[in-house]
Amino acid sequence: MKRVNSPFLVSSILIVFLWVLSKNLGWINDLFLPTPKQLLTAFVSLFSEHDFLDDIIASVLRVFSAFFFSAIIAIPLALLMFNNKTLRQILAPYIDFIRYLPVPALIPLTILFFGIGETAKIVLLFIGTFFQLILLIIDDLDEIPKEHFYLTYSLKLNGFQEMWYMFRKTLPQIYDNSRITIGWCWTYVIIAELVASSSGIGHMIKEAQRFSNTPNMYAGIITMGIIGFGTDFLFKKFYPSFFRYKMKAKM
């Protein structure tokens, strides 16, 4: 049976205690930090009166759609760039350039090209995810030991078979990088949902800020954190099932 994370449990209790104490002693104004009761009331109100579940579903679908498109394009393109030096020399500078562009600066262009619908939001999330993911995959491919290339040569694998072998070799690393980049994707949700959005967690937080509704803002932020934490937990949970050979190698 897995042991309880005692340090985390103790620190959580301490944080809640300091939170309640600071509010009871009036150290922090309600405008900056709600009481536990106000936060709980905000959650109840959001779910019962403001269709917050629909906002959560909208944001989750946007994030996972953008991540899905990023992955299905980044993985094969990274393999092609790894196997083709000329293609890598052509595309790598563009990828490096776009990777450093701030996503908020691209909002006007995104609206110009894709309008204000769902496509624009997913494209913004895609931009914030794809260019990071493809570089991480290429770095993983660069770390493959030379012995594996000797093996593919000895087996006389063709180009497709060699890429498939390299993909399988780096799949655990790609899985971990996916876990990291989907976290980055969540950080861009609020930015994406600034694009004339009428739904989503980011939209709810923006509206709460507009009316100085601090409890709702905290509720939205905490919800995003919980979803992100849960997604990361599931990635870690399924890792041993997907890559048993890696776990045995560590034993």
What are the extents of the domains in the chain?
Answer: 35-250
DSSP conformational letter for 212: T
Q: CB-based contacts of 100: which residues, under 8 Å, 6+ apart?
A: none
Instruction: Specify the higher pLDDT residue, 105 or 196.
Output: 105
Residue 1 three-state SS: coil
Question: What six digits make up the tokens of 104?
Answer: 């908020």
| Span 92-116, average pLDDT | 88
Q: Are 138 and 82 in contact (CB under 8 A)?
A: yes
Asked whether residue 33 carries a pLDDT value surpassing 60, the answer given is: yes
> For residue 215, which of 11, 22, 20, 32 has the smallest C-alpha distance?
32
pLDDT of 251 above 60: no
Lowest mean pLDDT among 28-32, 55-59, 219-223: 28-32
Per the document, the length of the chain is 251
* R_g over Cα of the chain: 22
pLDDT for 90? 95
pLDDT score at 148: 75
User: Under CATH, what is the fold of the domain 35-250?
Assistant: MetI-like fold (1.10.3720)
User: Which pLDDT does position 248 carry in this prediction?
Assistant: 54
Question: Looking at residue 243, what DSSP letter applies?
Answer: -
| pTM reported for the whole predicted model | 0.84
